Protein backbone atom coordinates (compact mmCIF):
# COMPACT_ATOMS: atom_id res chain seq x y z
CA UNK A 1 0.00 0.00 0.00
CA UNK A 2 1.69 3.17 -1.18
CA UNK A 3 0.29 6.30 0.35
CA UNK A 4 3.16 8.72 0.24
CA UNK A 5 5.87 9.10 -2.30
CA UNK A 6 8.63 6.63 -1.59
CA UNK A 7 12.10 8.07 -1.29
CA UNK A 8 15.19 6.13 -2.06
CA UNK A 9 18.36 6.45 -0.07
CA UNK A 10 20.56 8.92 -1.85
CA UNK A 11 24.27 9.57 -1.79
CA UNK A 12 25.37 12.11 0.81
CA UNK A 13 24.10 15.53 -0.24
CA UNK A 14 27.57 17.09 -0.27
CA UNK A 15 26.53 20.49 -1.65
CA UNK A 16 23.90 20.91 1.07
CA UNK A 17 26.27 19.74 3.80
CA UNK A 18 28.78 22.30 2.74
CA UNK A 19 26.22 25.09 2.62
CA UNK A 20 24.98 24.17 6.11
CA UNK A 21 28.54 23.89 7.46
CA UNK A 22 29.37 27.31 6.10
CA UNK A 23 26.23 28.88 7.47
CA UNK A 24 25.99 27.20 10.89
CA UNK A 25 29.66 26.64 11.80
CA UNK A 26 29.96 24.84 15.10
CA UNK A 27 26.21 24.20 15.17
CA UNK A 28 26.68 21.85 12.22
CA UNK A 29 27.86 18.28 12.86
CA UNK A 30 28.58 15.53 10.36
CA UNK A 31 30.60 13.13 12.51
CA UNK A 32 29.14 9.64 12.43
CA UNK A 33 29.02 9.24 16.22
CA UNK A 34 27.16 12.50 16.64
CA UNK A 35 24.77 11.52 13.85
CA UNK A 36 24.17 8.08 15.37
CA UNK A 37 23.34 9.67 18.72
CA UNK A 38 20.69 11.66 16.91
CA UNK A 39 18.99 8.61 15.44
CA UNK A 40 16.95 6.00 17.24
CA UNK A 41 18.75 4.68 20.31
CA UNK A 42 16.10 3.36 22.68
CA UNK A 43 15.02 -0.02 21.35
CA UNK A 44 15.78 -2.76 18.89
CA UNK A 45 14.69 -0.63 15.94
CA UNK A 46 17.85 -0.17 13.88
CA UNK A 47 19.81 3.06 14.24
CA UNK A 48 19.56 4.97 10.94
CA UNK A 49 21.70 8.09 11.29
CA UNK A 50 21.11 11.30 9.34
CA UNK A 51 23.77 12.71 7.02
CA UNK A 52 24.32 15.62 9.39
CA UNK A 53 22.87 17.38 12.41
CA UNK A 54 22.24 21.10 12.55
CA UNK A 55 21.22 23.05 15.64
CA UNK A 56 19.08 26.11 15.02
CA UNK A 57 18.92 28.90 17.61
CA UNK A 58 15.89 30.70 16.23
CA UNK A 59 12.78 30.27 14.17
CA UNK A 60 14.54 32.05 11.31
CA UNK A 61 17.38 29.51 11.46
CA UNK A 62 14.77 26.79 11.00
CA UNK A 63 13.26 28.60 8.02
CA UNK A 64 16.70 28.85 6.46
CA UNK A 65 17.44 25.16 7.03
CA UNK A 66 14.08 24.19 5.53
CA UNK A 67 14.75 26.34 2.46
CA UNK A 68 18.23 24.87 2.05
CA UNK A 69 17.03 21.27 2.42
CA UNK A 70 14.17 22.00 0.04
CA UNK A 71 16.50 23.48 -2.56
CA UNK A 72 18.59 20.29 -2.42
CA UNK A 73 15.58 17.96 -2.15
CA UNK A 74 16.89 16.46 1.08
CA UNK A 75 14.77 15.12 4.00
CA UNK A 76 14.52 16.90 7.35
CA UNK A 77 14.09 15.07 10.64
CA UNK A 78 13.25 17.19 13.70
CA UNK A 79 14.85 16.03 16.97
CA UNK A 80 13.95 17.03 20.54
CA UNK A 81 15.49 15.04 23.39
CA UNK A 82 15.74 11.71 21.57
CA UNK A 83 13.45 9.90 24.02
CA UNK A 84 10.82 8.70 21.54
CA UNK A 85 10.35 4.95 21.33
CA UNK A 86 9.20 4.02 17.83
CA UNK A 87 12.04 5.20 15.61
CA UNK A 88 10.63 8.72 15.15
CA UNK A 89 14.10 10.28 14.84
CA UNK A 90 15.62 7.77 12.45
CA UNK A 91 16.70 8.90 8.99
CA UNK A 92 15.88 5.91 6.78
CA UNK A 93 16.45 7.99 3.64
CA UNK A 94 19.31 10.05 5.02
CA UNK A 95 18.87 13.78 5.38
CA UNK A 96 19.39 16.49 7.95
CA UNK A 97 18.51 16.10 11.61
CA UNK A 98 17.23 19.44 12.93
CA UNK A 99 18.17 19.27 16.60
CA UNK A 100 15.92 21.73 18.45
CA UNK A 101 17.64 21.39 21.82
CA UNK A 102 19.30 24.83 21.68
CA UNK A 103 15.91 26.50 21.21
CA UNK A 104 15.09 26.29 24.89
CA UNK A 105 13.92 29.72 25.94
CA UNK A 106 10.91 30.22 28.15
CA UNK A 107 9.58 33.23 26.30
CA UNK A 108 6.76 34.24 28.64
CA UNK A 109 4.80 32.96 31.62
CA UNK A 110 1.33 34.44 32.07
CA UNK A 111 0.24 33.54 35.59
CA UNK A 112 -3.19 35.14 35.35
CA UNK A 113 -3.97 33.29 32.15
CA UNK A 114 -2.37 30.03 33.28
CA UNK A 115 -0.30 29.73 30.13
CA UNK A 116 3.28 30.01 28.96
CA UNK A 117 5.05 30.51 25.64
CA UNK A 118 8.17 28.41 25.11
CA UNK A 119 10.57 27.18 22.49
CA UNK A 120 10.29 23.49 21.55
CA UNK A 121 13.65 22.42 23.01
CA UNK A 122 12.50 23.20 26.56
CA UNK A 123 12.20 19.92 28.48
CA UNK A 124 9.36 19.29 30.89
CA UNK A 125 11.58 19.15 33.97
CA UNK A 126 13.33 22.41 33.06
CA UNK A 127 9.94 24.02 32.49
CA UNK A 128 8.60 22.90 35.84
CA UNK A 129 11.75 24.05 37.66
CA UNK A 130 11.14 27.48 36.18
CA UNK A 131 7.44 27.56 37.00
CA UNK A 132 7.61 26.42 40.60
CA UNK A 133 8.32 29.86 42.08
CA UNK A 134 5.11 31.15 40.58
CA UNK A 135 3.01 28.35 42.05
CA UNK A 136 2.42 26.88 38.59
CA UNK A 137 3.16 23.58 36.92
CA UNK A 138 2.79 21.74 33.64
CA UNK A 139 1.36 18.38 34.63
CA UNK A 140 2.06 16.03 31.72
CA UNK A 141 4.61 13.41 32.63
CA UNK A 142 5.61 10.84 30.01
CA UNK A 143 8.38 9.49 32.24
CA UNK A 144 11.41 10.61 30.24
CA UNK A 145 12.56 14.23 30.45
CA UNK A 146 11.27 14.79 26.95
CA UNK A 147 11.33 18.12 25.11
CA UNK A 148 7.99 19.84 24.80
CA UNK A 149 8.41 19.94 21.02
CA UNK A 150 8.76 16.18 21.00
CA UNK A 151 5.79 15.81 23.31
CA UNK A 152 3.71 17.94 20.94
CA UNK A 153 4.85 15.86 17.99
CA UNK A 154 4.01 12.47 19.50
CA UNK A 155 0.82 13.67 21.24
CA UNK A 156 2.40 12.51 24.50
CA UNK A 157 0.61 12.10 27.78
CA UNK A 158 1.69 9.86 30.70
CA UNK A 159 0.65 9.19 34.25
CA UNK A 160 -1.66 12.11 34.93
CA UNK A 161 -3.51 12.37 31.62
CA UNK A 162 -6.51 10.86 33.38
CA UNK A 163 -6.98 14.20 35.11
CA UNK A 164 -5.15 16.77 32.99
CA UNK A 165 -5.54 15.34 29.49
CA UNK A 166 -2.88 14.78 26.84
CA UNK A 167 -0.82 17.21 24.76
CA UNK A 168 -3.92 17.48 22.56
CA UNK A 169 -5.70 19.19 25.43
CA UNK A 170 -2.84 21.27 26.83
CA UNK A 171 -1.53 23.14 23.79
CA UNK A 172 -3.19 26.49 23.17
CA UNK A 173 -1.23 27.55 20.08
CA UNK A 174 1.75 26.59 17.95
CA UNK A 175 4.12 28.23 15.56
CA UNK A 176 5.55 25.91 12.90
CA UNK A 177 7.64 26.02 9.75
CA UNK A 178 6.08 24.11 6.86
CA UNK A 179 7.84 22.25 4.07
CA UNK A 180 7.76 25.32 1.82
CA UNK A 181 9.44 27.44 4.50
CA UNK A 182 6.29 29.36 5.38
CA UNK A 183 5.71 30.13 9.05
CA UNK A 184 2.24 29.42 10.40
CA UNK A 185 0.76 30.43 13.74
CA UNK A 186 -2.19 28.35 14.81
CA UNK A 187 -3.85 30.52 17.40
CA UNK A 188 -3.54 33.33 19.89
CA UNK A 189 -3.75 33.00 23.66
CA UNK A 190 -7.52 32.75 24.10
CA UNK A 191 -8.39 29.47 25.83
CA UNK A 192 -10.82 28.54 23.09
CA UNK A 193 -11.65 29.58 19.54
CA UNK A 194 -14.01 28.53 16.76
CA UNK A 195 -12.19 30.56 14.10
CA UNK A 196 -11.39 28.01 11.41
CA UNK A 197 -9.59 24.69 11.11
CA UNK A 198 -7.79 23.42 14.20
CA UNK A 199 -4.30 23.38 12.71
CA UNK A 200 -2.68 23.05 16.14
CA UNK A 201 -4.41 19.72 16.70
CA UNK A 202 -3.34 18.64 13.20
CA UNK A 203 0.33 19.33 14.00
CA UNK A 204 0.09 17.71 17.44
CA UNK A 205 0.87 14.03 16.89
CA UNK A 206 2.04 14.55 13.30
CA UNK A 207 5.57 13.56 14.36
CA UNK A 208 7.20 16.28 12.30
CA UNK A 209 5.76 14.97 9.03
CA UNK A 210 3.72 18.12 8.35
CA UNK A 211 5.96 20.84 9.77
CA UNK A 212 8.54 21.71 12.40
CA UNK A 213 7.22 23.22 15.62
CA UNK A 214 9.16 26.36 16.60
CA UNK A 215 7.05 27.82 19.43
CA UNK A 216 4.47 26.39 21.81
CA UNK A 217 1.81 28.09 23.96
CA UNK A 218 0.97 25.67 26.77
CA UNK A 219 -1.80 25.59 29.29
CA UNK A 220 -0.56 25.55 32.90
CA UNK A 221 -2.13 24.64 36.21
CA UNK A 222 -1.78 25.97 39.73
CA UNK A 223 0.28 23.67 41.98
CA UNK A 224 -2.38 21.97 44.09
CA UNK A 225 -2.62 22.95 47.73
CA UNK A 226 -2.37 19.29 48.72
CA UNK A 227 -1.19 16.12 47.02
CA UNK A 228 -1.96 12.69 48.43
CA UNK A 229 -0.30 9.51 47.19
CA UNK A 230 -1.12 5.92 48.00
CA UNK A 231 -0.85 2.28 47.01
CA UNK A 232 -3.36 -0.53 47.13
CA UNK A 233 -2.94 -4.28 46.40
CA UNK A 234 -5.67 -6.24 44.58
CA UNK A 235 -6.37 -9.96 44.29
CA UNK A 236 -6.35 -9.76 40.47
CA UNK A 237 -5.79 -7.41 37.54
CA UNK A 238 -9.53 -7.57 36.91
CA UNK A 239 -10.35 -6.41 40.44
CA UNK A 240 -7.92 -3.50 40.08
CA UNK A 241 -9.46 -2.51 36.72
CA UNK A 242 -13.00 -2.79 38.04
CA UNK A 243 -12.08 -0.59 41.01
CA UNK A 244 -10.57 1.93 38.57
CA UNK A 245 -13.76 2.04 36.49
CA UNK A 246 -15.91 2.50 39.61
CA UNK A 247 -13.63 5.26 40.89
CA UNK A 248 -13.78 7.23 37.67
CA UNK A 249 -17.52 6.69 37.24
CA UNK A 250 -18.10 8.00 40.75
CA UNK A 251 -16.48 11.29 39.78
CA UNK A 252 -13.41 11.09 42.02
CA UNK A 253 -11.01 13.41 40.13
CA UNK A 254 -8.02 11.09 40.52
CA UNK A 255 -4.78 12.68 39.26
CA UNK A 256 -2.87 9.45 38.70
CA UNK A 257 -4.03 5.84 38.80
CA UNK A 258 -1.34 3.37 37.75
CA UNK A 259 -1.52 -0.41 37.59
CA UNK A 260 1.55 -2.60 38.14
CA UNK A 261 1.03 -6.31 37.53
CA UNK A 262 2.44 -8.89 39.92
CA UNK A 263 5.59 -9.46 37.85
CA UNK A 264 6.26 -5.72 37.76
CA UNK A 265 5.86 -5.51 41.54
CA UNK A 266 8.23 -8.45 41.93
CA UNK A 267 10.80 -6.75 39.72
CA UNK A 268 10.51 -3.54 41.74
CA UNK A 269 10.87 -5.41 45.03
CA UNK A 270 14.10 -6.92 43.76
CA UNK A 271 15.48 -3.72 42.25
CA UNK A 272 14.49 -1.27 45.00
CA UNK A 273 14.65 -3.67 47.99
CA UNK A 274 10.97 -3.27 48.81
CA UNK A 275 8.71 -5.87 50.33
CA UNK A 276 5.42 -5.13 48.61
CA UNK A 277 3.01 -8.05 48.31
CA UNK A 278 3.59 -9.55 44.85
CA UNK A 279 0.08 -8.87 43.67
CA UNK A 280 -1.40 -6.47 41.12
CA UNK A 281 -1.29 -3.02 42.67
CA UNK A 282 -2.77 0.40 42.01
CA UNK A 283 -0.63 3.47 42.67
CA UNK A 284 -2.74 6.61 43.13
CA UNK A 285 -2.32 10.33 43.44
CA UNK A 286 -4.96 12.91 44.34
CA UNK A 287 -4.68 16.70 43.86
CA UNK A 288 -6.82 19.31 45.60
CA UNK A 289 -7.36 21.04 48.90
CA UNK A 290 -6.36 19.28 52.13
CA UNK A 291 -9.99 18.37 52.73
CA UNK A 292 -10.53 17.46 49.10
CA UNK A 293 -7.68 14.96 48.81
CA UNK A 294 -8.65 13.34 52.11
CA UNK A 295 -12.20 12.92 50.82
CA UNK A 296 -10.96 11.50 47.50
CA UNK A 297 -8.63 9.05 49.24
CA UNK A 298 -11.36 7.92 51.58
CA UNK A 299 -13.81 7.33 48.73
CA UNK A 300 -11.24 5.42 46.74
CA UNK A 301 -10.48 3.25 49.78
CA UNK A 302 -14.17 2.40 50.15
CA UNK A 303 -14.51 1.55 46.46
CA UNK A 304 -11.33 -0.55 46.47
CA UNK A 305 -12.57 -2.54 49.48
CA UNK A 306 -15.71 -3.46 47.52
CA UNK A 307 -13.45 -5.12 44.95
CA UNK A 308 -11.52 -7.15 47.49
CA UNK A 309 -8.49 -4.87 47.77
CA UNK A 310 -6.01 -5.08 50.61
CA UNK A 311 -5.28 -2.06 52.77
CA UNK A 312 -5.07 1.28 50.96
CA UNK A 313 -2.11 3.18 52.40
CA UNK A 314 -1.93 6.87 51.60
CA UNK A 315 -0.28 10.04 52.79
CA UNK A 316 0.10 13.71 51.92
CA UNK A 317 3.68 13.94 53.27
CA UNK A 318 6.11 14.29 50.37
CA UNK A 319 8.84 11.96 51.66
CA UNK A 320 6.23 9.32 52.51
CA UNK A 321 4.64 9.70 49.10
CA UNK A 322 8.01 9.16 47.47
CA UNK A 323 8.55 6.03 49.53
CA UNK A 324 5.14 4.61 48.62
CA UNK A 325 5.61 5.46 44.94
CA UNK A 326 9.21 4.20 44.79
CA UNK A 327 8.21 1.07 42.92
CA UNK A 328 6.42 3.09 40.24
CA UNK A 329 9.38 5.44 39.80
CA UNK A 330 11.76 2.48 39.40
CA UNK A 331 9.77 0.57 36.81
CA UNK A 332 12.15 1.04 33.90
CA UNK A 333 15.34 -0.05 35.64
CA UNK A 334 13.61 -2.71 37.69
CA UNK A 335 12.31 -4.26 34.48
CA UNK A 336 15.74 -4.25 32.88
CA UNK A 337 17.03 -5.94 36.02
CA UNK A 338 14.81 -8.98 35.38
CA UNK A 339 17.06 -10.13 32.55
CA UNK A 340 20.40 -8.31 32.40
CA UNK A 341 21.91 -8.29 28.94
CA UNK A 342 18.61 -8.84 27.19
CA UNK A 343 17.19 -6.37 24.69
CA UNK A 344 14.22 -4.31 25.77
CA UNK A 345 11.18 -3.03 23.93
CA UNK A 346 8.73 -0.60 25.48
CA UNK A 347 5.39 -0.64 23.72
CA UNK A 348 1.90 0.61 24.47
CA UNK A 349 -1.69 0.04 23.42
CA UNK A 350 -4.91 1.65 24.66
CA UNK A 351 -8.46 0.24 24.87
CA UNK A 352 -11.80 1.40 26.25
CA UNK A 353 -11.46 1.08 30.00
CA UNK A 354 -14.26 -1.53 30.14
CA UNK A 355 -12.06 -3.86 28.09
CA UNK A 356 -8.82 -3.19 29.94
CA UNK A 357 -8.98 -6.21 32.26
CA UNK A 358 -9.81 -8.47 29.28
CA UNK A 359 -6.92 -7.03 27.30
CA UNK A 360 -4.36 -7.24 30.11
CA UNK A 361 -5.39 -10.77 31.11
CA UNK A 362 -5.32 -12.07 27.54
CA UNK A 363 -1.94 -10.41 27.07
CA UNK A 364 -0.56 -12.00 30.23
CA UNK A 365 -1.76 -15.38 28.99
CA UNK A 366 -0.08 -14.74 25.64
CA UNK A 367 3.15 -13.73 27.39
CA UNK A 368 3.09 -16.97 29.37
CA UNK A 369 2.25 -19.10 26.32
CA UNK A 370 4.98 -17.44 24.25
CA UNK A 371 7.50 -17.77 27.06
CA UNK A 372 8.40 -14.07 27.21
CA UNK A 373 9.39 -11.78 30.07
CA UNK A 374 7.10 -8.74 29.97
CA UNK A 375 5.88 -6.95 33.08
CA UNK A 376 2.93 -4.61 32.62
CA UNK A 377 2.42 -1.04 33.81
CA UNK A 378 -0.80 0.75 32.96
CA UNK A 379 -2.21 4.27 32.99
CA UNK A 380 -5.43 2.48 33.76
CA UNK A 381 -7.65 5.54 34.07
CA UNK A 382 -7.15 5.96 30.32
CA UNK A 383 -7.23 2.26 29.41
CA UNK A 384 -3.59 2.60 28.36
CA UNK A 385 -0.92 0.04 29.26
CA UNK A 386 2.74 -0.59 28.57
CA UNK A 387 4.79 -3.72 28.24
CA UNK A 388 8.46 -3.78 29.06
CA UNK A 389 9.39 -6.69 26.84
CA UNK A 390 12.76 -8.35 27.42
CA UNK A 391 14.32 -10.87 25.07
CA UNK A 392 17.61 -12.23 23.84
CA UNK A 393 17.99 -10.61 20.47
CA UNK A 394 21.03 -12.82 19.71
CA UNK A 395 18.98 -16.01 19.93
CA UNK A 396 17.85 -17.27 16.51
CA UNK A 397 14.13 -16.84 15.86
CA UNK A 398 13.60 -14.72 18.98
CA UNK A 399 13.05 -11.42 17.17
CA UNK A 400 10.41 -13.02 14.96
CA UNK A 401 8.67 -14.50 17.99
CA UNK A 402 8.60 -11.08 19.66
CA UNK A 403 7.40 -9.41 16.51
CA UNK A 404 4.53 -11.88 16.16
CA UNK A 405 3.64 -11.34 19.81
CA UNK A 406 3.50 -7.57 19.24
CA UNK A 407 1.25 -8.10 16.21
CA UNK A 408 -1.12 -10.14 18.36
CA UNK A 409 -1.05 -7.46 21.09
CA UNK A 410 -2.11 -4.76 18.64
CA UNK A 411 -4.68 -7.00 16.97
CA UNK A 412 -6.18 -7.71 20.41
CA UNK A 413 -6.38 -3.99 21.28
CA UNK A 414 -7.95 -3.12 17.91
CA UNK A 415 -10.51 -5.93 18.23
CA UNK A 416 -11.57 -4.23 21.49
CA UNK A 417 -12.11 -0.84 19.73
CA UNK A 418 -8.74 0.36 20.96
CA UNK A 419 -5.66 1.83 19.30
CA UNK A 420 -2.19 0.51 18.44
CA UNK A 421 -0.65 3.32 20.50
CA UNK A 422 -2.14 5.43 23.26
CA UNK A 423 0.81 7.75 23.67
CA UNK A 424 4.09 6.57 22.13
CA UNK A 425 3.17 7.39 18.56
CA UNK A 426 3.57 5.60 15.24
CA UNK A 427 7.13 6.42 14.18
CA UNK A 428 8.47 3.54 12.12
CA UNK A 429 7.49 0.80 14.53
CA UNK A 430 3.73 1.00 14.19
CA UNK A 431 3.26 2.06 10.57
CA UNK A 432 2.34 -1.49 9.69
CA UNK A 433 -0.75 -1.28 11.92
CA UNK A 434 -2.10 1.97 10.51
CA UNK A 435 -4.22 0.42 7.75
CA UNK A 436 -5.74 -2.16 10.09
CA UNK A 437 -6.56 0.54 12.64
CA UNK A 438 -7.89 3.29 10.39
CA UNK A 439 -8.99 1.63 7.16
CA UNK A 440 -8.03 2.64 3.66
CA UNK A 441 -10.30 5.71 3.32
CA UNK A 442 -9.11 7.31 6.54
CA UNK A 443 -5.46 6.67 5.69
CA UNK A 444 -6.09 8.16 2.27
CA UNK A 445 -7.43 11.31 3.98
CA UNK A 446 -4.24 11.53 6.06
CA UNK A 447 -2.15 10.99 2.94
CA UNK A 448 -4.06 13.70 1.04
CA UNK A 449 -3.23 16.17 3.81
CA UNK A 450 0.41 15.09 3.84
CA UNK A 451 0.57 15.40 0.04
CA UNK A 452 -1.00 18.89 0.14
CA UNK A 453 1.41 20.21 2.77
CA UNK A 454 4.59 18.33 1.83
CA UNK A 455 4.26 17.25 -1.80
CA UNK A 456 7.88 16.15 -2.10
CA UNK A 457 7.81 14.11 1.11
CA UNK A 458 10.76 15.90 2.73
CA UNK A 459 9.39 16.21 6.27
CA UNK A 460 10.44 13.20 8.37
CA UNK A 461 9.84 10.65 5.61
CA UNK A 462 9.17 7.06 6.50
CA UNK A 463 7.14 7.90 9.62
CA UNK A 464 3.41 7.73 10.42
CA UNK A 465 2.10 6.81 6.95
CA UNK A 466 2.72 3.61 4.98
CA UNK A 467 5.10 4.33 2.14
CA UNK A 468 5.95 1.11 0.38
Q: Which of 96, 11, 109, 10 is CA-nearest to residue 61? A: 96
CB atoms near residue 101 (< 10 Å): 20
How much of the chain is in helix, strand and coil states, percent to nearest 5? 40, 20, 40
On whether the CB atoms of residues 434 and 443 are closer than 8 A, the answer is yes
Q: How far is the CB of 393 from a second copy (least distance, A)?
A: 25
Q: How far is the CB of 85 from a second copy (least distance, A)?
A: 11
- Measured distance CA(128)–CA(280) in Å, rounded: 31
Residue with Cβ nearer a second copy (90 or 421): 421
Calculated CA dihedral for residues 194, 197, 202, 208, nearest 10 degrees: -120
Q: Give the strand order in the sheet containing 171-177.
A: 106-110, 115-118, 212-219, 171-177, 183-185
Calculated CA dihedral for residues 23, 27, 33, 39, nearest 10 degrees: -90
- Measured distance CA(219)–CA(208) in Å, rounded: 21
Q: How far is the CB of 6 from a second copy (least distance, A)?
A: 18
Q: How far is the CB of 151 from a second copy (least distance, A)?
A: 11
CB atoms near residue 333 (< 10 Å): 12
On whether the CB atoms of residues 35 and 51 are closer than 8 A, the answer is yes
Residue with Cβ nearer a second copy (362 or 449): 449
Residue with Cβ nearer a second copy (185 or 321): 185
Q: Which of 240, 257, 232 is CA-nearest to residue 364? A: 240
Q: How far is the CB of 347 from a second copy (least distance, A)?
A: 12
Residue with Cβ nearer a second copy (86 or 261): 86
Q: How far is the CB of 259 from a second copy (least distance, A)?
A: 15
Residue with Cβ nearer a second copy (173 or 262): 173
Strands 136-137 and 221-222: antiparallel
Residue with Cβ nearer a second copy (18 or 249): 249
Residue with Cβ nearer a second copy (27 or 299): 299
Q: How far is the CB of 302 from a second copy (least distance, A)?
A: 12
- Measured distance CA(243)–CA(83) in Å, rounded: 32
On whether the CB atoms of residues 314 and 293 are closer than 8 A, the answer is no
Q: How far is the CB of 187 from a second copy (least distance, A)?
A: 7
Chain centroid to Cα 28, Å, comes to: 28
Within 8 A by CB and 6+ apart from 272, the residues are 326, 327, 330, 334
Q: How far is the CB of 256 from a second copy (least distance, A)?
A: 15
Residue with Cβ nearer a second copy (278 or 358): 358
Q: How far is the CB of 297 from a second copy (least distance, A)?
A: 13
Residue with Cβ nearer a second copy (43 or 384): 384
Residue with Cβ nearer a second copy (207 or 330): 207
- SS3 at position 343: strand
Amino acid sequence: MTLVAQRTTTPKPEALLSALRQRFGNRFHAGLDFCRQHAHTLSVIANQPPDAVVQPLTRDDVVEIVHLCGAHDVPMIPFGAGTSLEGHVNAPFGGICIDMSLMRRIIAVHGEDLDCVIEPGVTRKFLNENLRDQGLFFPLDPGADASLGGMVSTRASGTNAVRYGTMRDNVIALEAVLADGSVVRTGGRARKSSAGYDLARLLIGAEGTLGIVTEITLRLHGIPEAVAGGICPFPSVRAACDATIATIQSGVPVARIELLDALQVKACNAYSRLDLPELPMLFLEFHGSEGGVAEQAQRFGEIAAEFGAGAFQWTTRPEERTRLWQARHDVYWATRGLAPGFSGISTDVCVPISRLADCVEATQADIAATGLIAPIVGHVGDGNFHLGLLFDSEKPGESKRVSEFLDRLVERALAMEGTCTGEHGVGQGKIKYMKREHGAATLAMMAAIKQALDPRGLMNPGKVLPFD
